A and B are shown apart, each in its own frame.
Chain A
């Protein structure tokens, strides 16, 4: 086996020739959410992304959000997996075997980009560390996505999204005014690191285009989240006490999240339906009060500026809530937008599916799947005008084993058969994975 020369002019296994990243080969060793989210963006833009798993090392998210566990290949039907791994190619190969490691090392050596989120040090033990790859391919770009940095002592820590939220300081600053620090509703560090990872890859590709050399970049979730609270850190240093502010604004008032009826008329007390309202100018305050049918509030000289309204924010919240709870959130938002006051329903995941704005922009696309009824995937979010991006479902486990080993590495059918017989490559998990909901 000998790798083909690295370059950008090889025919890809697939991908659109017109897309900005057509011709780039990305070896994706990552799992869970952050890494796959990064490479999803690269695949959407035309890069050939090979997702590497193993017969005993399948991406854990294949085991969650499976609609029907009684089907023949439930691990290929996860909603989560298909959303964040669409447009990629699947290689399932055992990195615990010499042959498996050698093959992945050869793929890495011909890749433009390698993305990984192993615990610090693991990648080196697999013979896939940056220094090892660089010797074979000085143009290679490696992006690592650890929870923390590779430094002692934090490199010893496993870290999930909520851990990183805490350690980055953003939890301390988030939450109800009278409450404790607040956890995000999603595993926030993951998508943030995914976006940071994608940006790091792309910036490194720009630099490589200019200099001809690759580089290694570490995208620590903790450090990246720190860049989202830089203003609070500045404020702390010059003595301003930055406190949790709930839904309020430090500048304007009133602002809050208020109860509303359900879309089907369910009373607000039972609906768990909410609308966000922000008043950013004195004029908007007048319009809000008038929309509420409360000219007395609009005329109240004690409420004419934001400072005064902040001082009586609790009272204003009660007045606004008394109005919003009489109608659905979308009705509140429409009424306020009509008179020039910022407002939006608090959209739930189900609401997003049916949201008229997202629908008008074809945010959800229907994509065929090998064993399921067509599924909905989100459209690419970086809209390059004039370019069409087609979506394919995520690869089944090991779906492209043979295409990759023959097409990329020139291995013979006989040898691929041998690898299959030895269990080095596979199309189904060797052991049925356990179920967990945490990624």
Chain B
């Protein structure tokens, strides 16, 4: 869908990486600018046994698939000039650099607008480009804390707990993708470029279920909803242990009949408004029903009766799931030295192809990109790439 679109990623985290990976999969040419030591995703792992090099980091292999890698030592003027030349040829710059850093690179909004009127920019930062916290230092944990979602996750008798990875960043990647597509569409329709600014804090705070809109208007939360509620709101909205893992029973009023059919107790229909029964006997009954079954058996009952049950899938479960495979979600890549790996492909499914080359080795495309966009060859590149001693 995006063939012919040239995107420069000047970023160092999950947000820009995942957004531009998706663009690459749908046909865009994505040039990832890396420092001589490599993108931070090359250093976070996880790593295979015996290796700690940036080419084998799982985060890099996944999030940077389909891109070209160009190493630029942006402390050097020659590198900054090369970056400007690359950007000048692009349709879109996607960056997580803060405003001051972009100014130092000569890529601030006024200069880009004046110099590259056809270029659109999507700039994503933790707190936005202004305000008292604009320059605060962050990590994926502090960012998730600042957005509000962390406060609601975890057990009520313990500290809040964050989810896997950088979920603030992953959510933001979809916003970056949407904002970028809006900018491209606007360019196509009107010839006007855009500068779009996103703040990770705002993106999370705008997705706070019903608790956000209620609190923002000063309404008291529903009992149990303003704070952490752990894994169980009530007996029919809860995790339960199964024989071989954990399952979920999440029943709304419209699912009562299918739920009762699935657990083989349609006789309880008349007791479903009895709160004492639901809080006591029903919890015990559902708990026993789950504990006597495997995840697969719970899932089979859900499928048979159309009940909203689920199980906690492990990586091995996902990779072996035939239905998931049939959806076309998997994309197989040949990672040098690591063999064939299966990774999630397109985030949404249509008739369009989603193709990704393996994640690039550090600086793999430096020479070609510099020659193509910056006219730099041979000796010219030494000051540009700094300490990188690549191929």
- A-B CB contact pairs (8 Å), 19 listed: A37-B207, A181-B246, A183-B248, A184-B153, A187-B209, A199-B22, A199-B348, A209-B185, A232-B165, A237-B319, A238-B48, A242-B46, A251-B44, A280-B139, A347-B148, A348-B148, A349-B148, A384-B194, A386-B195
B residues 242-278 with Cβ under 8 Å of A?
Answer: 246-248, 250, 252-253, 255, 258
A218, A344, A439: which contacts B142 (Cβ < 8 A)?
A344
Query: Looking at B1, B206, B215, B342, which has the most chain A CB atoms within 10 Å of its CB?
Result: B206
A376 at the interface (CB under 8 A from B): yes
Supplied contacts A272-B227, A352-B208, A352-B216, 14 more A-B pairs, CB within 8 Å: A80-B213, A168-B313, A169-B315, A173-B164, A202-B181, A202-B182, A203-B2, A204-B1, A223-B349, A227-B170, A275-B145, A376-B213, A384-B194, A434-B253
Contact of A357 with B229 in the complex, beta carbons under 8 Å:
no
Question: Residue of B at shortest CB range from A80?
Answer: B210
B1, B170, B179, B216: which contacts A207 (Cβ < 8 A)?
B1
Given the known A-B contacts A206-B1, A437-B225, are A199 and B148 also in contact in the complex, defined by CB atoms under 8 Å?
Answer: no
Contact of B142 with A234 in the complex, beta carbons under 8 Å:
no
Question: Residue of B at shortest CB range from A161?
Answer: B250
A293 at the interface (CB under 8 A from B): no
Residues of chain A within 8 A (CB-CB) of B302 are 157
Contact of B344 with A233 in the complex, beta carbons under 8 Å:
yes
A198 at the interface (CB under 8 A from B): yes
Residues of chain B within 8 A (CB-CB) of A412 are none
A8, A277, A361: which contacts B202 (Cβ < 8 A)?
A361
B235 at the interface (CB under 8 A from A): no
Given the known A-B contacts A184-B163, A360-B132, A361-B199, are A378 and B212 also in contact in the complex, defined by CB atoms under 8 Å?
Answer: yes
B229, B258, B312, B347: which contacts A185 (Cβ < 8 A)?
B229
Chain B residues at the A interface, C-beta cutoff of 8 Å: 1-2, 18, 22, 26, 43-49, 56, 58-59, 61-63, 109, 127-128, 130-134, 136-139, 141-155, 158-165, 167, 170-171, 174-175, 177-179, 181-186, 188-189, 194-199, 201-203, 205-219, 221-222, 225-231, 237, 239, 241, 246-248, 250, 252-253, 255, 258, 302-303, 306-319, 323-324, 326-327, 329, 338, 341-344, 347-352
Query: Looking at A79, A256, A346, which has the most chain B CB atoms within 10 Å of its CB?
Result: A346
In the docked arrangement, what's the CA distance between A275 and B311, Å? 32
A residues 168-224 with Cβ under 8 Å of B?
Answer: 168-176, 179-188, 190-192, 194-200, 202-207, 209-210, 215-220, 222-224
Contact of A346 with B150 in the complex, beta carbons under 8 Å:
yes
Closest Cβ of chain B to A303, distance in Å, is: 19
**Between A and B, how many residue pairs show CB distances below 8 Å?**
479
Contact of A219 with B313 in the complex, beta carbons under 8 Å:
no
Contact of A199 with B149 in the complex, beta carbons under 8 Å:
no
Closest Cβ of chain B to A247, distance in Å, is: 5
Contact of A151 with B2 in the complex, beta carbons under 8 Å:
no
- 4 closest residue pairs by CB, A with B: A185-B152, A349-B215, A202-B181, A173-B164
Contact of B175 with A381 in the complex, beta carbons under 8 Å:
yes
Residues of chain A within 8 A (CB-CB) of B142 are 276-278, 342-344
Contact of A154 with B303 in the complex, beta carbons under 8 Å:
yes
Contact of A218 with B348 in the complex, beta carbons under 8 Å:
yes
Residues of chain A within 8 A (CB-CB) of B162 are 174, 246-247, 257
Secondary structure type dominating chain A contacts: mixed
Contact of A202 with B185 in the complex, beta carbons under 8 Å:
yes
Interface residues on chain A, size class: 35 or more
B63, B133, B177, B218: which contacts A357 (Cβ < 8 A)?
B133
Question: Residue of A at shortest CB range from B229?
Answer: A185
Closest Cβ of chain A to B174, distance in Å, is: 4
A167, A342, A347, A382: which contacts B196 (Cβ < 8 A)?
A382
Residues of chain B within 8 A (CB-CB) of A222 are 324
Closest Cβ of chain A to B269, distance in Å, is: 16
In the docked arrangement, what's the CA distance between A152 and B327, Å? 10
Residues of chain A within 8 A (CB-CB) of B56 are 238
Closest Cβ of chain A to B328, distance in Å, is: 9
Contact of B208 with A206 in the complex, beta carbons under 8 Å:
no
Residues of chain B within 8 A (CB-CB) of A183 are 153, 230-231, 239, 248
In the docked arrangement, what's the CA distance between A385 and B252, Å? 42
Residues of chain B within 8 A (CB-CB) of A364 are 216
Question: Residue of A at shortest CB range from B172?
Answer: A195
A166, A230, A438: which contacts B312 (Cβ < 8 A)?
A166
A227, A255, A348, A382: which contacts B141 (Cβ < 8 A)?
A255
Query: Looking at A179, A207, A350, A352, which has the most chain B CB atoms within 10 Å of its CB?
Result: A352
Question: Residue of B at shortest CB range from A84?
Answer: B213
In the docked arrangement, what's the CA distance between A202 and B187, Å? 13
In the docked arrangement, what's the CA distance between A203 and B250, Å? 33
Question: Residue of B at shortest CB range from A382?
Answer: B179
A111 at the interface (CB under 8 A from B): no
Residues of chain B within 8 A (CB-CB) of A371 are none
Stretch at the interface among A60-68, A91-99, A398-406: A60-68
Contact of B127 with A157 in the complex, beta carbons under 8 Å:
no
Contact of A378 with B131 in the complex, beta carbons under 8 Å:
no
Given the known A-B contacts A184-B163, A361-B130, A381-B199, are A159 and B209 also in contact in the complex, defined by CB atoms under 8 Å?
Answer: no
Closest Cβ of chain A to B319, distance in Å, is: 7
Given the known A-B contacts A157-B306, A348-B226, are A383 and B252 also in contact in the complex, defined by CB atoms under 8 Å?
Answer: no
Given the known A-B contacts A180-B239, A342-B138, A348-B148, are A247 and B159 also in contact in the complex, defined by CB atoms under 8 Å?
Answer: yes
Closest Cβ of chain B to A339, distance in Å, is: 10
Residues of chain A within 8 A (CB-CB) of B329 are 223, 226
